[in-house]
């Protein structure tokens, strides 16, 4: 009987204030997942139809952001279970990091191909519209998520907030390339904008692949916080 009890995960007591933060964090992630899903579909369809490397790369990044927000949901729902939370964060961080590296390779190769072959993307009103909306929406979501992460003392949730901020930066870069092509006919601005995304994407990927220490530190900090 004692062995069964020892094998079961211990639930750390959670204060009312912390439970409120968890609920707010979950609601913010629902909003992020919902918006990023719409963002991904519109960006990918518009990008593929227009032949825009920047838009397609941004759309794939939106899919990764949905995955990251899903991981944050998992993290929030396992707030009471320190051992499980640390394992989930470590595994998920590496998976997302590897996905970012793969995205960077794809964007770099496709951008170089577009520049080499002088591939001229079509104008896309839908692409400009979704990118403009993202420039406004994503910083607001990132700020709110960062507030929750810092209040909970969670490094992994703060990393998720940084990824939401990344989406805002990428939307601004992609918007510049797509808009310059649409307004001035600078076909090269689209693949150049996509190439400008690569260092930012690689940075997030490397940090994700090396995220073990951050996850472990997060578990330690929360362990102290809930005692």
For residue 84, is pLDDT > 80?
no
d(CA 67, CA 29): 11
Q: Residue 58 is encoded by which pair of tokens?
A: 């941004």
Q: Is the entire prediction scored with pTM above 0.85?
A: no
d(CA 165, CA 159): 10
| pLDDT for position 16 | 67
Secondary structure (3-state) at 130: helix
**Which residues fall within 8 angstroms of residue 36, CB to CB, at 6 or more apart?**
62, 63, 65, 66, 69, 167
Please name the residue that has the structure tokens 């933060």: 21
- State which fold the 16-225 domain adopts: Alpha-lytic protease prodomain-like (1.20.1510)
| Run of H or E residues at 206 | helix 189-209
As a whole number, mean pLDDT of residues 72-91 equals 69
For 88-105, the pLDDT digits (tens) are 667 767 777 787 888 888
For 141-153, the pLDDT digits (tens) are 989 988 888 887 7
Residue pair 145/32 in contact (Cβ under 8 Å)? The answer is yes
Secondary structure (3-state) at 8: coil
> How many residues are given for the chain?
227
For 186-204, the pLDDT digits (tens) are 889 888 988 888 888 888 8
| pLDDT for position 223 | 40
Q: Give one DSSP letter per residue of 163-184, joined into a string.
A: HHHHHHHHHHHHHHHHHHHHHH
For 44-67, the pLDDT digits (tens) are 999 999 988 889 988 988 888 888
- Rounded to the nearest angstrom, the gap between the alpha carbon of residue 116 and the centroid of all alpha carbons in its chain is 30
């Amino acid at each position: 009987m004692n062995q069964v009890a020892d094998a079961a995960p211990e639930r750390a007591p959670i204060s009312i204030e912390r439970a409120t933060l968890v609920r707010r964090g979950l609601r913010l992630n629902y909003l992020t997942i919902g918006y990023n899903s719409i963002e991904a579909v519109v960006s990918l369809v518009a990008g593929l139809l227009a032949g825009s490397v920047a838009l397609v790369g941004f759309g794939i990044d939106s899919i990764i952001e949905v995955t990251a927000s899903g991981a944050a949901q998992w993290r929030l729902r396992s707030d009471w279970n320190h051992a499980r939370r640390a394992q989930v964060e470590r595994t998920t961080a590496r998976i997302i990091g590897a996905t970012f590296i793969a995205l960077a390779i794809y964007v770099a190769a496709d951008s170089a191909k577009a520049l080499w072959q002088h591939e001229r993307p079509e104008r896309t009103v839908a692409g400009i519209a979704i990118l403009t909306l993202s420039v406004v929406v994503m910083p607001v979501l990132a700020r709110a998520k960062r507030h929750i992460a810092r209040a909970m003392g969670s490094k992994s949730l703060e990393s998720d907030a940084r990824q939401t901020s990344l989406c805002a930066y990428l939307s601004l870069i992609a918007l510049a390339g797509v808009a310059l092509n649409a307004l001035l006919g600078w076909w090269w601005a689209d693949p150049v904008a996509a190439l400008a995304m690569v260092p930012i994407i690689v940075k997030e990927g490397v940090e994700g692949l090396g995220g073990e220490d951050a996850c472990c530190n997060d578990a330690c900090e929360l362990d102290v916080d809930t005692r």
